[in-house]
């Protein structure tokens, strides 16, 4: 009960602070303060309290992660800023123009994507060790400080059977991101084409495809993927390449149902436009209607969906890998890595460095997700700006 | 006595592309008590922005950067939110262009009506409802006792606009701002709304700012007229003086727009094969019959105007001709040959011969294709031109529609003005080298000066290329300007048809008569005269219902 009393007391104090601050501001006679509602004043007081709280937390010795997060945030912001600054002054004029209008978030997203792409493509050269190499010492703590149980040779430590985490993270970019990207592209090709086709043709084809999609969507997607992959693993007869291929196709088909529904509903909105009618009356074929008249106008929502879908596919692959039917064990994969290293999280309270091991692959996933969505947001903003 | 509203040297800026651009540049405005001021100008002249600024309000992305707005001695630009809140709705009210979009579809009309008086504590709910019924009656709404208990979609557009006026009146404000309240309405409905607004403003001695782009409308409503051009005042004068002796060139050009008139071409020889004949066409959407036994001919090189109110079946007729809606019975013949009912069954050449130009150029042009792509596609598709020949043909077409190829070739539709977009739509139709072009309300979304330019262009192209036009419109001024023959439609039937001069000389079919007399004229006494002739009950829906 006393907890509630505390909360009420704190809120009341904040309200009082807001009121007092506003009254003080009004003495200056400024319009901003005069027209400020009490709710807004409360919001400012709350923000002030949060800021003070954060400053206090920063000084606490136990709040290691909080400090890391803030430092990481600051570094990201500075990196994005420098990247945008470079973009504004280097390169061809058209590119520079893009950078000039770009918000910082989008610059950050592009930077992240470029770094991931470089890491994924050149993984073989960048990584100090092979992804499957067992290097002796197991469970080396990240940080490379021998006093803390680290080893300078393995800056991010090793896992339970002594593989270098840094190398596996780098190879993970290649495996996880590459596969997720291919899967999402395939899902969009399938779902997008069929969805727009259903919107243009309508009638029985629309019914057939839509009901088919309904059936696929009625089955929980992870269970369904698991079921199909079990069957596929029999077909693959243990060949790792084939199993991966089946996984890509299966996840793409299951995810394409979501894309189908979006593309169809967006397409239906566009099909009624007069320019589509004009094209139909001209006698244009289906290909022209779908790819020239409708698709370019459906691009904005589809791109937004792409960013989101990419993240979901990513997570699906991670969960399937954990269940043993996704990316196969010797290959590095971020999802599997999180699971493998998960129990170290228990040491977070007294050995922050140890708990870092499972957080790194998780962070890799999160960073890419955030980056992709920043870029997609920006593209959407630009697309909607063109319309008005 | 101080004027009710006094705007001095007002500057307003709008934000686009991360920069502030001026929308209104140093406009002064004075409005006396009980006076009605008409604000006219083309779209983009800053009329609506100025109207909103008169309430001390700026839309998102717009800011008032200088000047003063004094309402009854209080400076609205320096007033606190609380002070403005006590004024808006109570002493200043606003009537928007689209009543259908401004009412909340989830609430009954009466609940929205009583909100302002109850909130401002003028009347309690019961009194407000009683007062609403009284206002509905004054505005001549049918069944005033119960109409308020309907939802917005259950009431027609003209009625909704009057309900909105009633709502604005609910607190008996000193000032009402009408922002194009009749632009979206049919002529016969418009006149009813005009009469109702004028009556009620007179009765309560309310001051009003009446924003419109239609000169004839403003001539009926306003005591004084102020003309705006790209954010600046052109001139202000009392209505009669302004109509008879406009001072500025721009004002004169606005007045002259209605002067475009093209003589009727001589009647075709009796034995001529019409380029298009519609023979006894009946068409339906599902079970609802929308066209009944429509028949008319279009002869080569002539313009046939199809007129009627919205819902009369004009556009459906176009859909039947183009093959989008196969008719239930009857045939469409092109140069004597019956066309297949659906467009999918028609040959490429048959499709090429009939082209369409649409009302909304915004939705008629693909926003992701450049002007050259839009115009070039039919050229490539029908004539198979490529590369340099295609480019030359596109340039030629662009010159025909009076757009400079070098400037406009690579622009997207979003970078064109309304009139330019409509020109591109025309060029796309021309690119197919058709014999017949169906123009579906092509000028109704445009300003008068721009619309006149489009009409002149169409007339010139007809002379040069020998095109035939089917001109769908509800605007009789356009018909007068361009048509050779007129087909009048009402609820899916052809009521009357014939040569233009014959149609515009009495005697008419009563419905044609109603349509013709409902078109506002520039004469400020026109509405009074009409009211005297027809009486209040002879207006709008009431009149159509009786036919």
The tens digit of pLDDT for each residue in B279-333 reads 989 998 888 888 889 899 999 888 999 988 877 888 889 999 999 889 998 999 9
Q: Quick check: A203 contacting B, CB < 8 Å?
A: no
A298-353: per-residue pLDDT in tens? 888 888 888 888 888 887 887 887 777 777 777 778 877 887 787 787 777 777 77
Chain B contact present for A280, CB below 8 A = yes
Residue A260: pLDDT over 90? yes
A293 to B366: CB separation less than 8 angstroms, yes or no = yes
Sign, CA dihedral B425-B426-B431-B436, equals: positive
* A311 to chain B, closest Cα gap in Å: 28
CA dist list (Å): A129 to A133, A167, A173, B389: 7, 6, 15, 61
* A206 part of a folded domain: yes
Q: Name the residue among A279, A280, A283 with its Cβ closest to that of B348.
A: A283
Q: How many CA atoms are closer than 13 Å to the CA of B243, on its beta-carbon side?
A: 19
Phi, psi of B286 (to 5 degrees): 60, -125
Give the 3-state secondary structure of residue B306: strand
Q: Is residue A19 part of a domain?
A: no
Whether the CB-CB separation of B411 and B370 falls below 8 Å is answered with: yes
- Which of A59-68, A273-282, B345-354 is predicted least confidently? A59-68
The pLDDT of residue B543 is: 59
* Residue B6, strand partner residues: B30, B70
Return the percentage of chain A with pLDDT > 70, whole number.
95
Interface test with A, best of B343, B366, B430, B439 (most A CBs within 10 A): B366
Mean pLDDT of A252-279: 91
Q: Which residues does B contribute to its contact with A (CB < 8 Å)?
A: 18, 78, 80-81, 322-324, 343, 346, 348, 351, 355-356, 358, 360, 363-369, 377-378, 381-382, 412, 414, 428, 432
* Of B187-191, B231-235, B357-361, the least confident: B187-191
More confident site: B337 or B98: B337
Number of domains within chain A: 1
Q: Give the CA angle between residues B417, B422, B428 to the nearest 5°.
A: 125
Interface contact A273, partner B, CB < 8 A? yes
Residue A370 resides in a domain: yes
Residue A39 C-alpha, separation from nearest chain B C-alpha, in angstroms = 14
Under a CB-based contact definition with an 8 Å cutoff, are residues B216 and B250 in contact?
no
**pLDDT at B542 (0 to 100):** 56
CB contact under 8 A, A278 and B360: no
Instruction: Determine contact, residues B227/B251, Cβ cutoff 8 Å.
Output: yes
Which uninterrupted H or E stretch holds B473?
A: strand B468-473
Read off the pLDDT of each residue in A11-18 and give the average, rounded to a whole number.
92
Give the model's pLDDT for residue B540: 57
Report how far apart, in Å, the C-alpha atoms of B341 and of each of B11, B331, B338, B351 are. 58, 8, 9, 12
Q: Is residue B404 left, alpha or beta, with left meaning phi > 0 and alpha meaning psi from -120 to 50?
A: beta
Kindly state whether A5 is in contact with chain B, defined as any CB-CB distance less than 8 angstroms: no
Q: Do B18 and A284 touch (CB under 8 A)?
A: no
- Burial class, B434, CB count within 10 angstroms (exposed 0-12 / middle 13-18 / buried 19+): buried
- Confidence label for B354 from pLDDT (cuts 50, 70 and 90): very high
Picking from A234-243, A354-363, B146-155, which range would have the lowest pLDDT averaged per residue?
A234-243
Q: How much of chain A, in percent, has pLDDT values that exceed 90?
A: 23
Confidence (pLDDT) at B250: 84
| Nearest-Cα residue of chain B relative to residue A37 | B81
Can you spell out the DSSP letters for A37-82? -HHHHHHHHHHHHHHHHHHHHHH-TT-HHHHHHHHHHHHHHHHHHH
Q: Which residues of B touch A297 (CB under 8 A)?
A: 366-368
Give the mutation candidate from A278, A383, A387 for the B interface (greatest B CB count, under 10 A). A278
ipTM of the complex: 0.78
Interface probe with B: pick from A40, A100, A272, A282, most Cβ of B within 10 Å: A282
- A362 domain residue, yes or no: yes
The pLDDT value recorded for residue B546 is 52
Question: Which residue in B81, B343, B377 is closest to A281 by CB distance?
Answer: B343
Inter-chain CB proximity A280 and B343 less than 8 Å? yes
> What digits encode the pLDDT tens for the residues A65-95?
888 889 999 999 999 899 888 888 887 877 7
Is A88 at the interface with chain B, CB within 8 A?
A: no
Of residues A101, A275, A282, nearest to B366 (C-beta) = A275
State how far residue B75 is from chain A, nearest Cα, in angstroms.
14
pLDDT at residue number A194 = 92
Residue A157 domain-assigned (yes or no): no
Report in angstroms the alpha-carbon separations of B278 from B275, B282, B334, B484, B496.
Answer: 10, 10, 9, 17, 15
- Give contacts of A275 with chain B, Cβ < 8 Å: 363-366
Give the contacts of B503 (CB within 8 A, at least 6 positions apart).
Answer: B486, B488, B496, B497, B512
Contact state of B377 with A274 under an 8 Å Cβ cutoff: no
Q: Is residue A93 part of a domain?
A: no
Task: Look at the block and give the residue holding tokens 């009486």.
Answer: B535
Whether B351 sits inside 8 A of A281 (CB atoms) is yes
Sheet containing strand B5-16, edge to edge, reads: B19-31, B5-16, B62-71, B74-75
* Mean pLDDT, rounded, for B150-155: 86
pLDDT at A387 over 60: no
* Closest chain A residue to B434, measured at CA: A282
B359-385, pLDDT tens digit by residue? 888 888 998 889 999 999 999 999 888
Report the gap between the CA of B351 and the closest CA in chain A (Å): 6
Compare all CA atoms of chain B with the CA of A291 and give the residue at the minimum distance.
B368
Structural domain span for residue A289: 168-384
The better pLDDT of the pair B469, A387 is held by B469
Chain A: residue nearest B374 by CA? A275
Phi then psi for residue B210, to 5 deg, are -110, 110
CB contact under 8 A, A275 and B356: no
Helices within A283-350 (DSSP H only): 286-288, 295-323, 334-341
A-B contacts at Cβ under 8 angstroms: 59
Residue A84 falls within a domain, yes or no? no
Closest chain B CA to residue A36: B81
Residues of A in contact with B346 (CB under 8 A): 283
Q: CB B356 to CB A280 under 8 A? A: no
What average pLDDT does the structure give for chain A?
84
Which range (A70-79, A185-194, A320-329, B458-467) has the least confidence? A320-329
CATH number at residue A226: 1.10.3720.10
Asked if residue A162 is part of any domain, the answer here is: no
């Amino acid at each position: 009960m006393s907890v509630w009393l505390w909360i009420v007391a704190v809120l009341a104090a904040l309200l009082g602070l807001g009121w007092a601050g506003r009254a003080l501001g009004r003495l200056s006679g400024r319009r901003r303060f005069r027209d400020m509602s009490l709710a807004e004043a409360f919001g400012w007081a709350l923000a002030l309290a949060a800021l003070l709280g954060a400053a206090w937390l920063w000084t606490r010795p136990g709040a290691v992660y909080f400090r890391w997060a803030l430092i990481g945030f600051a570094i990201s912001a500075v990196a994005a800023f420098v990247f945008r600054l470079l973009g504004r002054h280097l390169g061809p004029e058209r590119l520079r123009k893009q950078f000039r209008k770009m918000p910082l978030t989008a610059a950050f997203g592009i930077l992240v994507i470029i770094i991931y792409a470089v890491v994924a493509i050149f993984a073989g050269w960048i990584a100090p060790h092979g992804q499957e190499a067992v290097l002796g010492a197991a469970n080396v703590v990240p940080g490379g400080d021998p006093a803390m149980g680290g080893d300078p040779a393995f800056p991010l430590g090793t896992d339970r059977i002594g593989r270098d985490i840094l190398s596996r993270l780098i190879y993970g970019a290649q495996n996880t991101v590459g596969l997720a990207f291919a899967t999402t592209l395939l899902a969009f090709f399938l779902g997008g084409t069929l969805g727009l086709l259903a919107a243009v043709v309508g009638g029985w084809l629309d019914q057939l495809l839509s009901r088919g999609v309904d059936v696929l969507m009625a089955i929980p997607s992870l269970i369904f993927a698991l079921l199909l992959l079990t069957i596929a693993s029999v077909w693959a007869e243990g060949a790792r390449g084939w199993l991966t291929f089946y996984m890509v196709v299966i996840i793409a088909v299951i995810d394409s149902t979501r894309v189908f529904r979006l593309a169809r509903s967006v397409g239906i909105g566009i099909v009624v436009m007069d320019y589509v009618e004009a094209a139909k009356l001209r006698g244009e074929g289906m290909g022209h209607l779908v790819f020239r008249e409708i698709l370019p106008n459906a691009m904005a929502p589809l791109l937004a969906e792409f960013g989101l879908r990419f993240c979901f596919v990513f997570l699906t692959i991670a969960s399937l890998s954990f269940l043993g039917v996704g990316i196969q064990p010797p290959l590095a994969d971020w999802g599997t890595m999180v699971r493998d290293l998960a129990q170290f999280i228990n040491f977070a309270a007294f050995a922050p460095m140890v708990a870092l091991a499972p957080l790194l692959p998780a962070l890799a996933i999160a960073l890419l997700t955030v980056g992709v969505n920043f870029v997609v947001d920006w593209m959407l903003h630009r697309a909607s700006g063109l319309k008005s | 006595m101080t004027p009710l509203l006094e705007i001095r040297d007002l500057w307003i800026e709008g934000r686009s592309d991360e920069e502030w651009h001026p929308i209104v540049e140093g406009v002064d405005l004075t409005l006396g008590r009980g006076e009605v001021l008409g604000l006219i100008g083309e779209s983009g002249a800053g009329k609506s922005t100025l109207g909103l600024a008169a309430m001390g309000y700026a839309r998102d992305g717009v800011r008032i950067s200088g000047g003063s707005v004094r309402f009854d001695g209080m400076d609205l630009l320096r007033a606190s939110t609380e002070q403005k809140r006590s004024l808006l709705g109570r002493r200043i009210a606003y009537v928007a262009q689209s009543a259908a979009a401004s009412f909340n579809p989830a609430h009954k009309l009466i609940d929205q009506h009583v909100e302002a008086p109850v909130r401002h504590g003028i009347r309690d709910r019961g009194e407000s409802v009683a007062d609403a019924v009284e206002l509905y009656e004054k505005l001549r709404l049918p069944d005033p006792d119960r109409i308020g208990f309907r939802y917005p979609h259950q009431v027609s557009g003209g009625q909704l606009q009057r309900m909105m006026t009633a709502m604005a009146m609910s607190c008996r404000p000193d000032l009402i701002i009408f922002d194009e309240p009749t632009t979206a309405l049919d002529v016969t409905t418009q006149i009813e709304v005009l009469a109702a607004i004028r009556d009620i403003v007179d009765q309560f001695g309310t001051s009003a700012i009446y924003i419109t782009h239609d000169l004839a409308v403003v001539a009926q409503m306003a005591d004084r007229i102020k003309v705006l051009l790209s954010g600046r005042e052109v001139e202000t004068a009392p209505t009669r003086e302004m109509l008879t002796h406009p001072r500025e060139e721009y004002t004169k050009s606005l007045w002259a727009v209605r002067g475009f008139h093209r003589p009727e071409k001589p009647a075709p020889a009796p034995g001529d094969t019409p380029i298009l004949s519609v023979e006894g066409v009946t068409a339906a959407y599902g079970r609802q019959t929308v066209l009944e036994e429509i028949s008319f001919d279009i002869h080569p090189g002539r313009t046939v105007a199809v007129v009627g109110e919205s819902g009369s079946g004009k556009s459906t007729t176009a859909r039947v001709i183009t093959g989008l809606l196969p008719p239930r019975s009857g045939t469409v013949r092109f140069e004597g040959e019956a066309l297949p009912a659906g467009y999918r069954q028609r040959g490429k050449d048959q499709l090429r011969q009939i082209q369409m130009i649409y009302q909304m150029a915004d939705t008629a042009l693909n926003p992701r294709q450049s002007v050259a792509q839009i115009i070039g596609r039919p050229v490539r598709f029908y004539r198979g031109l490529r590369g340099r020949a295609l480019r030359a043909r596109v340039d030629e077409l662009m010159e025909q529609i009076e757009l400079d190829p070098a400037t406009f070739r690579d622009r997207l539709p979003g970078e064109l003005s309304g009139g330019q977009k409509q020109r591109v739509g025309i060029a796309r139709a021309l690119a197919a080298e058709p014999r017949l072009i169906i123009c579906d309300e092509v000028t109704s979304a445009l300003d008068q000066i721009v619309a006149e330019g489009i009409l002149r262009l169409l007339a010139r192209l007809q002379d040069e290329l020998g095109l035939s036009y089917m001109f769908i419109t509800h605007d009789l001024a356009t018909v007068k300007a361009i048509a050779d023959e007129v087909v009048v439609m009402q609820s899916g039937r052809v009521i009357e048809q014939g040569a233009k001069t014959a149609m515009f000389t009495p005697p008419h079919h009563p419905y044609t008569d109603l349509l013709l007399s409902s078109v506002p004229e520039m004469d400020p006494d026109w509405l009074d005269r009409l009211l005297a002739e027809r009486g209040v009950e002879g207006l709008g829906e009431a009149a159509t219902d009786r036919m």
